[in-house]
Amino acid sequence: MVTEINYSMRELLVCNGAKVLEDGKAVFVGTGLPMTATMLAQKTHAPRLLIVFEGGSLGPIMRELPISVADSRTFYRAIAASSMHDVMSLSQAGYVDYGFLGAAQMDMYGNINTTVIGNHELPKVRLPGSGGANDVGSFSDKLIYIIANQSKRTFVNKVDFLTTPGYLDGPGARERAGLPEGSGPYRVITQLAVYSFDEASKRLKILSLHPGVSLSQVQDSSGFEIIEPNKIETSYIPTEEDLRILRQEIDPSGMVLGK
């Protein structure tokens, strides 16, 4: 008899985000869902994952979920309690494998907006801003985004404000702008699917669909056409152990995942 595992959409997002991260790699991580996914990866398949926080922590062992990237809990058993200058310098020097961020808007080339919705001078909504996201997006080797609510308002033809560069306007654009060769967006995780980027065009491409999601749902929830490959996988489904760790060890209060 197979027992059905009940998980929330945020838990599905976090588990799929965690699976992207590899053991022995370095990840520069943002607050919220990216941080939660990174902690799950470190507690499961990637115990030697080197976590980098904007507040200056290098290589901590994450016991419980911090409220921000400068929370004192980000320094627990860290190999260094350094500074923002030092961690940004590491990123610029090419030592960071993954940048892991959230976003309010994204276009087909993986450019993201976390600054304003609408006109910059008189915005409809003022968002948290870049923080270190521009540096992370500019200098990390591979970028991972979690966007919890994919829709035509979040997957847009053109972002209202370019906070963090993806592939800019297509192939070769990052390099022409002076960014490291071969770097750029790698994975995008939403409530509908996991995406990669087409090697030739640098446009968003479906990698896997979450259980019960159709291709038409994905396309109807985007302001631009998403590339559909011949083979599309089913996304990773959380295990009972994943959920136990998330609910009991990482976020028992439901600060990020909710109750």
Torsion of CA 247, 250, 253, 256, to 10 degrees: -100
Q: Which residue, chain included where needed, has tokens 């491409």?
A: 205
Single out the residue of 197, 211, 191, 107 nearest to residue 146, CA to CA.
Answer: 191
Radius of gyration of the chain (CA): 18
Residue whose structure tokens are 């993954």: 98
Q: Report the alpha-carbon distance of residue 158 to residue 112 in Å, rounded.
A: 9
Catalytic annotation, pick one of 22, 54, 181, 240 = 54
Whose structure tokens read 């976590």?
51
Pairing of strands 123-126, 142-146: unpaired
The residues near 225 (Cβ < 8 Å, ≥ 6 apart) are: 108, 219
Q: Which of 248, 208, 258, 252 is nearest to 232 (CA)?
A: 208
Q: What is the DSSP letter of 74?
A: G
Where helices occur in 77-162 by DSSP H, the ranges are 84-92, 133-139
Look up residue 69 and give its DSSP letter.
T
Active site residue 4: no
Burial class (CB in 10 A: 0-12, 13-18, 19+), 70: middle
Catalytic residues: 54
